[in-house]
Amino acid sequence: MLTNRSKIETFIGFSIKARALITGTNSIGTLKKAYLVLLCDTASDNAKKIAQSYSNKFGCPLMICKIPLEQLTGKENCKMAAITDVNLAKAVLDNQDGNFSVSSGGNGL
């Protein structure tokens, strides 16, 4: 059964295959650089604060996802992820649709 995936979902899939998508708060905290932080819109207020702090730390945009990140990443209870490849992060940002919105700026890839 084929589903219609948006371009942004496809690029997130590419990020997973390229091992450029890091999931989980603790794993993201160990990164030296990320180019985009993704946050599920159902995340807790504490997770939102942490995601904002990572966005500030890396100087990158924070994108809120209306589609559950759990569904996009295939990881159960995933609420936060980061893309570590500049080109994939740019592709995700360039293909935003109604299910994704940038919450804060960053350095504007």
Q: What's the rounded Cα separation, in Å, for the pair 42 and 95?
A: 22
- Mean pLDDT for all residues in the chain: 90
**Looking at residue 67, which CATH number applies to its domain?**
3.30.1330.30
Q: Is 109 a member of any domain?
A: no
DSSP letters, 36-97, are EEEEETT--HHHHHHHHHHHHHHT--EEEESS-HHHHH--TT--EEEE--HHHHHHHHHT--
Q: What is the pLDDT of residues 90-105, one digit of tens each?
A: 999 998 888 888 887 6
**Total domains present in the chain:** 1
Question: What integer pLDDT is reported at residue 6 of this predicted model?
Answer: 83
Q: Is 2 a member of any domain?
A: no
Q: What is the pLDDT of residues 50-69, one digit of tens each?
A: 999 999 999 999 999 999 99
Question: What integer pLDDT is reported at residue 69 of this predicted model?
Answer: 92
Question: What integer pLDDT is reported at residue 85 of this predicted model?
Answer: 97
Amino acid of residue 54: Y
pTM for this structure?
0.89
